[in-house]
Amino acid sequence: MRGNSGRAPDVASAVDILDSIVIGAGQAGLSSSHHLRRLGIAHVVLDADDAPGGAWQHRWDALTMQDVHGVAELPGSVPPPRTTEQANRAVPAYFAGYERTHEVPVIRPVHVDRVTDDDGILVVHAGDRSWRSRTLVNATGTWTQPFLPHYPGMETFLGEQFHTVDYPGPEHLRGKRVLVVGGGASAVQFLGALAPIAEVVWATRRPPVWRHDDFTPEAGAAAVALVEQRVAQGLAPQSVVSVTGLMLRPQEQEAARRGVYDARRPMFERIEPDGVRWADGTFEPVDVILWATGFRPAIGHLAPLHLRSEHGGIQLDRNGRGTTAVKDPRIQLVGYGPSASTIGANRAGRTAARGVQRYLALTPAPVDVA
């Protein structure tokens, strides 16, 4: 990136305008940068974290590479093996090595506040700094936007409350009575880890959907297609896991033997200082409430561009299979909707880079007015 031209900030100059900016240096952002570079597209990657690793560096210490669903390889590299090594060490080390080897143009830490339009040029604001670009690849994921539902009385609870994002690990909860809230893969994992060392209670809004057959590539494609349909309509995306169904892994079989997964309760009516009150009036004493209630896309900084549809989501091209925002073809979204997985993020990175290339080819570059 070249230095400030000294012109007034409201004058678009070809000298200080990048072809593209990637926001986020997780799997989707690194993949996008790789493919942009292969296409010869000048760009930088702005990352909010102090160090490489994306959201993986913030996960709990007890999560090992054996516990995760798998980390897809970044383009031209080999991912860490599925061992007992901590995921919050193995994956960040993998990402850091990738950044060095591939000379990814990362600038960090950069906390993007908002993205605005300045006479056809995108301006990315981060405090008192800003970058100007013709296109943008948004790869901010969901980790920074945990979803915490509100229930009456939750502020009166005297015990501990954690969301997945600040889960302290099973040892912190040893011997306690823990209410796990949520019907996704994280809840299943928490119950599997906690059942042998703590008393657990499970509550979900809807009965969980279990998958008992093999999860074939065809089944995966069908699940992704359901998420694509929502994105194509401009609806807020659901996670791919929400349509694949839940499966128990070997490390969760002990919890299954104890009947934990068969004892699910519907959601409680309210929270009281020492527990929760069910709809039938009965009281459940608990020491800890663990909210495994998921995340939402971290796209608030894009609000000034008015990309959302009337249905609340950002509509993508190619019937939801692409990455280009229908309302603004300058914007690519990766790790959003159907690409919100490590494998999907890699594919989306390639698609996004091609989308950027296509836009740049069709749109004349700004002319320096000096």
* Beta strand segments in the chain, E: 17-23, 43-46, 106-107, 114-118, 121-126, 129-138, 160-163, 177-181, 199-204, 265-266, 270-272, 275-277, 283-285, 288-291, 324-325, 328-333
Q: Give dist(CA 108, CA 273) in Å, integer.
A: 42
> From edge to edge, which strands make up the β-sheet containing 265-266?
160-163, 288-291, 177-181, 199-204, 265-266
| Contact status, residue 237 vs residue 334, Cβ threshold 8 Å | no
Q: How far apart are CA 247 and CA 211, in angstroms?
A: 5
Cβ contacts of 13 within 8 Å, gap of 6 or more:
5, 7, 366, 368, 369, 370
* Dist CA 313 CA 334 (whole Å): 14
Query: CA triplet 286, 290, 292: central angle to 5 degrees?
Result: 145
Q: Which of 182, 192, 170 is nearest to 257 (CA)?
A: 192
User: What distance in Å separates the CA atoms of residue 156 and residue 212, rounded to the nearest whole number?
Assistant: 40
Q: Which of 251, 225, 253 is nearest to 240 (CA)?
A: 225
* pTM of the predicted structure, to 2 decimals: 0.84
For 211, left (φ over 0), alpha (ψ -120 to 50), or beta?
Answer: beta
**Residues sharing a CB contact under 8 Å with residue 50, sequence separation 6 or more, in sequence order:** 108, 109
Residue 319: per-residue pLDDT: 65
Question: Which residue reads 């193995």 in tokens?
Answer: 90
Contact, 191 vs 248, CB < 8 A? no
Four-CA torsion 134, 140, 141, 145, nearest 10 degrees: -130
Domains and CATH numbers, the chain: 14-144+295-362 (3.50.50.60), 154-210+246-291 (3.50.50.60)
pLDDT tens-place values along the chain, 370 residues long:
333 333 333 333 344 899 999 999 999 999 999 999 999 999 999 999 999 999 999 998 888 888 776 677 899 899 899 888 999 999 999 999 999 999 999 999 999 999 999 999 999 999 999 999 999 999 999 999 999 999 999 999 999 999 999 999 999 999 999 999 999 888 999 999 999 999 999 999 988 877 666 555 555 555 556 566 666 667 666 665 555 567 777 778 888 889 999 999 999 999 999 999 999 999 999 999 999 999 999 999 999 999 998 888 898 887 657 899 999 999 999 988 766 666 677 888 999 999 999 999 998 877 665 5
Single-letter amino acid code for the residue at 220: G
Alpha helices in the chain (DSSP H): 27-38, 87-101, 185-194, 217-232, 241-244, 253-257, 342-362
For residue 48, the model assigns a pLDDT of 97
Write down the pLDDT at residue 336.
85
- Whether the CB-CB separation of 112 and 136 falls below 8 Å is answered with no
Angle at 116 between CA 359 and CA 36, to 5 degrees: 35
Asked whether the bond before 109 is cis by omega within 30 degrees of 0, the reply is yes
